[in-house]
Structure 1
Amino acid sequence: MQSCELSVIKYILFTFNLVFAISGIGLIVAGALVLSDVGEFDHFMEGRILAPPVVLIVAGCIVFLVASLGCYGAIRESYYMLMAFALCLLIILIIELAVGIAAAVYKNDFQMTMKDLMKSSMQRFENSKGDRTAWNNIQTKLKCCGVEGPTDWPENTRPVTCCHATREGSPPPEAHHCRSAAPQDGILYMDGCFYQLQEKAESASKILIGVGIGIAFVEVIGIILACWLASAIKNKGD
């Protein structure tokens, strides 16, 4: 009976680890997609704002390797490898929880940091090619203007990318018209880029949270199965 129980647990854990390895690949893909989506505007973000998707990619790689260890430990019926596997899962789970808590606690700080970076970049617009390129890129792609709105731009420095065509198919206004345009003229993007970027970052964070919760649930099951099998192997040896 004990031998039958051992075999059942072993193959359940082996199957679980195959699924777990696939979930590790899923983590890598999810992190990469979020990073490519938000990272396009990394000029306005500190490294710590982009850290969660990077951590997710690293965690995915580690999960894949740990799952391989779990598969090998289950087939070999190695008590120590299974306990090492459970410990690795526990460490990964703690790291994921710590990153999630830190992201939630410092969310407002991240947002204020991003806003300050955008404002300082705006002041360098005229003298820095990198800042000009970054602002033209974000205003064109997110259809926005300024940090919180078009009035953020100092007089005569508002870029033409703040303006859109008044009729579908017609070209945007020339640079001097865009610089002198008032909000009521109807040719300015009225949404601030900070809010557009914030919305994009929050959308990405929801994906990360959803994937993280799913993987955390799988990890808890993995820890229980590994400890169960390790205990059965130890009892068999006794």
Structure 2
Amino acid sequence: MKTCELSVIKYTLFIFNLIFAISGVGLIIAGSLVLAEVGEFSHFLEGKILAPPVVLIVAGCIVFLVASLGCYGAIRESYYMLMAFALCLLIIFVIEFAVGIAAATYKNQFQSVLKEAMTDSLSKYESSKSDKIAWDNIQTKLECCGVDGPMDWSKRPPTCCHPTRENAPDPSPEHCRNAKPGDDFLYNYGCFEELQMKAESSSKVLIGVGIGVAFIQIIGIILACWLASAVKNRE
């Protein structure tokens, strides 16, 4: 009976670790997609905001390696390897939990920090090449203008405007500079709101993936300890 129980637990844990390895690949993909989505606007975002997707990619690599250890430990029915596997899962879970708490705490400061960084960067548009490139990029990609709107600019750049119809020429710099809010060729929404929505959307993806993997980790810790206990009792 004990041998049958041991076999059931062993193969259950083996199958679980295959799923766990796939979840590690999922973490890497999710982190990479979010980093690619938000990373192009890194000029306005602090390292604290870009850290979670990077942590997720690193965690995905570690999860894949740990899952391989779990598969090997399950097949070999090694008590020490199984306990090492459970301990690794626990450490990863604690790190993910700590990063989640840090991200939730920083979320309250996110709006003020982001707006301050964008306002400061906008004031350097004429004097700093990096700020000019960053603003031209974000206004073109997110179809927005200024921090809160087009009136933030004293000399409005051409990237605040767009053609009124397909294949039409871009409005001239002078035409764009003299445009009034409400004109159909002027982006009338601020970039702060657009970038904030993009960052929050990305954070929801990270939170969802993180919670799913954390749930899998808890199951893995339970199965590993159960199998390790069964192996020890048999010995």
Smaller-chain TM-score bracket: over 0.9
What corresponds to 1:114 in structure 2?
114
Counterpart of 1:101 in structure 2: which amino acid? I
Q: Unpaired runs of 5+ in structure 2? A: none
- SS in structure 1 opposite 2:234? helix
User: Which residue number corresponds to residue 61 of structure 1?
Assistant: 61
Residue aligned with 1:166, SS: coil
C-alpha contact 2:20 2:63 (8 A) present in aligned 1: yes
The residue number in structure 1 matching 2:76 is 76
CA distance, structure 1, for counterparts of residue 189 and residue 98 of structure 2: 34
Alignment of 1:13-162 (within 5 A): 13-153=13-153, 155=154, 157-162=155-160
Shift of 1:108: 2.3
Partner of 2:184: 186
CA contact (8 A) 2:182 2:188 kept: no
Deviating 4+ runs (over 4 angstroms) = none
Aligned-pair identity (%): 72
Residues of 2 paired with 1:82 and 1:26: CA distance?
Answer: 24
Q: Distance in 1 between matches of 2:183 and 2:83?
A: 68
Structure 2 distance, partners of 1:186, 1:15, is 58
- Following superposition, the deviation at residue 100 of structure 1 comes to 1.3
Rounded to whole Å, the distance in 2 between the matches of 1:168 and 1:7 is 66
Instruction: Work out which of the residue numbers 217, 220, 232 in structure 2 matches 1:219.
Output: 217
Normalising by structure 2, we get a TM-score of 0.97
| Aligned counterpart, 2:169 | 171
After superposition, what is the alpha-carbon deviation per residue over 1:136-157, rounded to whole angstroms, capped at 9, x for unaligned?
A: 111011000001111111x2x2
TM-score, reference length from structure 1? 0.95
Q: Aligned partners of 2:108 and 2:139: how far apart in 1?
A: 23
CA-based RMSD: 1.1
Report the CA distance between 1:166 and its aligned residue.
2.8
Tell me the equivalent position of 1:197: 195
Q: Given residue 16 of structure 2, which amino acid in structure 1 is its aligned partner?
A: F
